[in-house]
Structure 1
Amino acid sequence: MNILIPNSFCYSAIGITKTLKRLSKYQVCLWGTGEEDKGVASGSLLVDEYLKSPSLNCASAYKAFLSSLIDSNGIDMIFCVLDSDLLVLDEIIKEHSSTVYVNPGHQNILLFRDKLAASKAIEKIGINIPRIVMEDAKVPLILREKISVGSTGIKYLDLCESAQLNGTVFVQERERGREFTVDVLCDKDGEPHLIIPRERLEIRNGMSFKTQLKRDGDLIDATKRICHKFCLPGIWNVQFIKNEKGVFFIELNPRISGSSIASITASFNFIDLYIDHFFFHNCIPSMDKLQEFVAWDSIVTRFYEESVFPQHNIKCPVS
């Protein structure tokens, strides 16, 4: 099976690349691309075949490059690891009916790319968000770009600071609390089969370095509500802050995250199930069953290889 990971040179791709190499059921050939020469970034050395691509800033050339690569090399499946690739793949995949790409949908891509629109949409289904402030307030504030990648563009505002607001940013009241990323596996209809909340314990260079898997009912329930509203297929992640006031939605990324390898390492390689379902059209086991295969409360740290520190005995999934 030929699997393509566009922009596989980037850090976000390393986790999924290692996970695909550890598949128990399938032999795969991994194709990677990137703007950098092979060897400049470690991710380019982890794939079996690596091709230098045009810049994402040259949209037409980049799309033509990917289309040619898919056709010329019989690509069976594509994994997206960057927000910037979501709209590109959404457009070109229509020309490649034999290639499987789990598309979150054009409207969902646009919605969750716009952090303000996404926050308002989530609030409408009864999930808390940090209060959106469009005027002076006597509370700690954060300034966010409306269109952004991950948590980039967030700035903590001093109350004495004068923010020059325009149509590209919005302001929210700052919520303090425990930060969580929730990894989600849904079937083709957007029905959840695995929901794994992870608490961020330590951040290094802006990335989650140490994380703990928590079976938190409030976070799982909020995530289920999002699943049932937006019907996002595949593997994606959503971020929350939890404090004494409740659970607050921060953002949703409709793609696999770079840190999702923590959930995979401390449970089982559910990429096998992903391929089973989306490529071979097999059913995914129920959520009740799969949640029991997670090493809840385990702490995962990220080095060149992830390490797991189990907190109690767990079940092992049956292959």
Structure 2
Amino acid sequence: MSINIIKAGILDTIQDMGRNGYGSIGISTGGAMDTYAARLANYLTGNNGCEPLLEMHFPGPQILFEENALIALAGGDFSATVDNENIPAWQPLIVRKNTLMQFPHWQKGARVYLAVKGGFQSEKWLGSNSTHLKVGAGGFGGRKLQKGDIIPFKASECNAKAFLHEKDNLHVFPWRANITNTYRNPDVIFVVKGREWNWLPEDARSKFLNNEFHIRQSSDRMGYQLEGENLFIPNNTELISSPVNFGTTQLLPDGQMIILMADHQTTGGYPRIANVISAHIPKLAQRREGERVVFRLVDNDIAEKLFIAQEKELQIQKQSSLDHINEYVKCTV
């Protein structure tokens, strides 16, 4: 059971929730940029949230399914089709053997995740199947997918014949994830104060909170470089290299900022003026080059409440999906 990459996209990699516990030796967590979408894609197929799946960017790949498969797409909208028939995101479906998935038109978002029932078989490195492009480890040979790659997925028995009529290439199931809360106001990003927030003079803080910034084209999985009003710290105060995390917002010497993303370095020497709250990382991860972001400062209590609420929502959707899968599909891995 496998998929075949008929045409590679611009950047398609196998990811999971990343590798934890190796920051002390300079290896960041990595993993999916939008962990919310990745987890939901897995949940919709009845997987646990950590199964390996595909993270795709636009232009996307062409994927041939070499066996019937229960799948789900989540994240951005690239106008996905199966044999030229439109298919939805955030909703599970069964696709027939020898059908072709394509992503012909960008609509919104930066990344789409493809989960299959059972998860993709891939290489594990330091406890994670995530692709680490810099090291060249994990995922599929430690690299992005290329034309001709065949990626197997774990065996599962789905009652596909009960849903696929003779002339149908797919069957969409009637339940859908509710993502309203997570992606509401996609350009508004909540942050908490960073360790060096107080280094900013009052006018720089005002610029940070009252202006919009745009994501530069040079941004990638390591960091989003922002373009906007210059923010300066007087006296060119230096900082000893210190720990950083996914969402850490650093102020560069030229007065511009960078938000560290999934493949960030583990330490940095630039002032950490803010940190994106965990609950807003998913919608930040779906912003593309050229799109704007505006920042709103919140306290730790609000950040914690939003994170807990998001986690509760994910657990509810996980259980709901399992109940539906057990009722309708009768799949076993």
The normalised TM-score by structure 2 is: 0.27
The structure that has the greater radius of gyration is 2
The normalised TM-score by structure 1 is: 0.28
Higher helix share: 1
| Greater RCO, 1 or 2 (C-alpha within 8 Å, sep 6+) | 2
